[in-house]
Amino acid sequence: MKIGVFICHCGTNISATVDVEKVAQVTSKLAKVHFSTTYLYMCSNPGQELIKKAIKEKGLDRIVVCSCSPSLHEKTFRKCAEEAGINPYLVEIANIREHCSWVHRDKKEATLKAIDIVRLAVAKVSRDKPLVKTYVPIEKRVLIIGGGISGIQSAIDIAFAKYPVTIVERESSIGGRMARFDKTFPTLDCAACILTPKMVTVSQSQYVTIYTCSEIEEVSGHVGDFKVKIRKRARSVDINKCTGCGACYAKCPVKVSAKFDMNLGLRKAIYVPFPQAVPNVPVIDRQNCLWFSAKNASGGTKKACGLCKKICNFGAIDYDMQDEIIEEKFGAIIVATGFTQFDHSVYGEYGYGKYKDVVTGLHFERMASSSGPTGGKIIRPSDGKEARDVVFIQCVGSRDEQKGVPYCSRICCMYTAKHALLLKEHNKDAQAYVFYIDIRAAGKNYEEFVKKVQDEYGAIYLRGRVSRIFEKGGKIIVRGADTLSGAQIEIKADLVVLATGLIARPETVKLAQMLHIPYDQNRLFTEAHPKLAPVETVTSGIFLTGACQSPKDIPDSVATASAASVKALGLLLQDKLEKEPLIAKVDRNLCSGCRACVVACPFNAIDMKEIEDRALKCKRDVAEVVEGVCTGCGNCTVVCRMSAIDIEGFSNRQIMEEIEAL
């Protein structure tokens, strides 16, 4: 056995705190190590050439690369070794950057630790076995969770490449948050005008299936072969029969406040959330529908309504519709679940959410919309009068570690500027006051837009926080400080608009656990690498787009959506999928057939198989690993009394060898 040790300086990232020459010198004396050298950037082309040359010239048969985390360059060096003619699984990475040089200051200590880390890796590599990659077939379909602008864009891109794609949307129409916006910054395009054509495109594509009123129930399997259970909630209206004529909701006698319009307007118990809804098919809100409340009332004495069913010429209303569970297979999953608004009722200074005339940006958005509940008038929700003096407060929930979230929500500065502009456009006499901490307008034409709002639309920007909001004489009094002039300010406002931050949806944790993807302390999904893999997750075959990963504006959401669909398409374009061979393997001679591993396996990846035992001259059952299903977690190895089952690449012998080298 001839082991080669290659130590990377990583510029000065490693060599500044680790004496790499000393590491090379000490490790070259380790048993079985035949050759040891250092290089400035081992992952660079010349670095890889150096490794290949050494493998060939020195006759090395396995290598240890001492560099950054294996999550970054393990693949690079495996490929490099393969090109030099040795099995790619005879390569180990000693992580002396993230786990050593970057976390220690003392050069002596760090060098000693680095030597130890390399010794462990050498011990492990000495027990490595050559492995062969396996291949699994791919289900050539993509699942998109969430039908907002991100999900829609992803679906369009995938359908354009002629691959089938399914959108699962919780609400009764796709469109998401963007469908509720009036205009978009900084170009002031009408949101509906640019979104609805896309909604129509997806709905008309033969490659796109849309499940609305639907949620993900269960996910199992792995990349190339995800098995997904989708719960399609009872819509009570048959999508195939309905023509969207609207007779039912014209006739419906029940009026309730519309969630889509931030409860500023009313809708019927059978309704489409907004006129451009896709599919343009109503849904019955069973909580408020008279037919259902009569049916659920004791004894059924109340007369059921049933008007919508009577009026419908197409027999589309189906009161008996039940939830449906659909089971489908997908090769890749794109998560586009978006965000929700921060709940400002935790802030006492803003009135704990009890003043009607203190609203959020999304309320303002609905009021500004000409198809919205106020017909495009900016009003005071308390008395319906047109608002003249409007105070906007930024960073509500954002950048507040105590009560909110520590991060900046990125879009609030811009949407507030847009609101200030829209206010003036809707009412020439109106005056906007904006309380801000910092203005963050990093984006193409963003800064110019804010400047325009200040200069041309006369919005008054006040740097400071609001200390109190209270009602007095029918006005909302906003008391705050202007830190630039040092003055106390009191504004008698008609309306206060809070720029509430973007936060993760409450159900993200449940979804993350179903998909086995990580999330951070703010419950936003975590990307595989913040810079180099921003739309991937560590679970292969699952991609992220839009605000479920971090707050994003529309251009960024669309960009990540296209990026995620390219990544998904890249997978689907493979004939078959390469699978890491780091999975469980059974030694039949040792297996006693006790089935402990079968029970312990979280993936049902172990079956029992009858074999002919020639030595014992009998038939007996042994465990057999289903290669396509095994994920290589190694739980089975611990329960095996005979040590008959082991994980390739993380075998008992390898780990024991590492421990001995401690």
**3-class secondary structure, 309:** helix
What are the phi and psi torsion angles at 515 (to 5°)? -90, -10
Residue 11 binds other proteins, judged by CB under 8 A: no
Q: Which residues contact 573 (CB under 8 A, 6 or more apart)?
A: none
Site residues for other proteins, 381-400, by CB under 8 A, read: none
Of the candidate residues 69, 370, 483, 488, the single one contacting other proteins (CB under 8 A)? 69
d(CA 511, CA 561): 19
Binding mask 251-280 for other proteins (x = CB under 8 A): ------------------------------
Considering CB under 8 A, how many residues would be counted as binding other proteins? 51
**3-class secondary structure, 119:** helix
Shortest distance in whole angstroms from residue 188 CB to other proteins: 37
Residue 209 binds other proteins, judged by CB under 8 A: no
- Number of other CB atoms surrounding residue 507 within 10 Å: 14
Between 126 and 236, name the residue whose CB sits nearer to other proteins: 126
Of the candidate residues 159, 512, 586, 644, the single one contacting other proteins (CB under 8 A)? 512
CA 439 to chain centre: 27
Site residues for other proteins, 593-612, by CB under 8 A, read: 600, 602-603
d(CA 295, CA 413): 49
Shortest distance in whole angstroms from residue 535 CB to other proteins: 16
Site residues for other proteins, 625-644, by CB under 8 A, read: 631-635, 637-638
Q: What share of residues in the chain are helix, strand, coil (percent, to 5)?
A: 30, 25, 45
In angstroms, what CA-CA distances link 96 with 6, 38, 649? 12, 13, 20
d(CA 201, CA 158): 12
CA dihedral (102, 106, 111, 117) in degrees, to 10, reads: -50
Beta-strand runs (E) in 588-648: 606-613, 618-625, 645-647
* Contact assessment for residue 464 and residue 482, using Cβ atoms and an 8 Å cutoff: yes
Between 313 and 521, name the residue whose CB sits nearer to other proteins: 521
* Contact assessment for residue 374 and residue 262, using Cβ atoms and an 8 Å cutoff: no
Residue 229 binds other proteins, judged by CB under 8 A: no
Between 91 and 647, name the residue whose CB sits nearer to other proteins: 647
Of the candidate residues 112, 258, 469, 504, the single one contacting other proteins (CB under 8 A)? 112
Q: What single DSSP character describes residue 86?
A: S
Shortest distance in whole angstroms from residue 657 CB to other proteins: 11
Residue 647 binds other proteins, judged by CB under 8 A: yes
Of the candidate residues 2, 49, 76, 102, the single one contacting other proteins (CB under 8 A)? 102
d(CA 330, CA 257): 38
Q: Which stretch binds other proteins (CB under 8 A): 239-247, 353-361, 446-454, 652-660?
A: 652-660
Of the candidate residues 103, 193, 200, 442, the single one contacting other proteins (CB under 8 A)? 103
Shortest distance in whole angstroms from residue 464 CB to other proteins: 31
Q: Which stretch binds other proteins (CB under 8 A): 45-53, 67-75, 294-302, 443-451?
A: 67-75
d(CA 409, CA 396): 10
In angstroms, what CA-CA distances link 350 with 259, 343, 409, 473? 22, 12, 19, 17
Residue 539 binds other proteins, judged by CB under 8 A: yes
Of the candidate residues 134, 526, 574, 592, the single one contacting other proteins (CB under 8 A)? 526
d(CA 216, CA 147): 13
Q: Which stretch binds other proteins (CB under 8 A): 97-105, 384-392, 455-463, 557-565?
A: 97-105
Maximum distance among all Cα pairs of the chain, rounded to whole angstroms: 98
Shortest distance in whole angstroms from residue 596 CB to other proteins: 12
Of the candidate residues 4, 70, 176, 404, the single one contacting other proteins (CB under 8 A)? 70
Residue 662 binds other proteins, judged by CB under 8 A: yes
d(CA 546, CA 528): 15
Residues of this chain that interact with other proteins (CB under 8 A) are 69-71, 95, 97-100, 102-106, 109-110, 112-113, 116-117, 120, 509, 512-513, 516, 518-521, 526, 538-539, 582, 600, 602-603, 631-635, 637-638, 647, 650, 652, 655-656, 658-660, 662
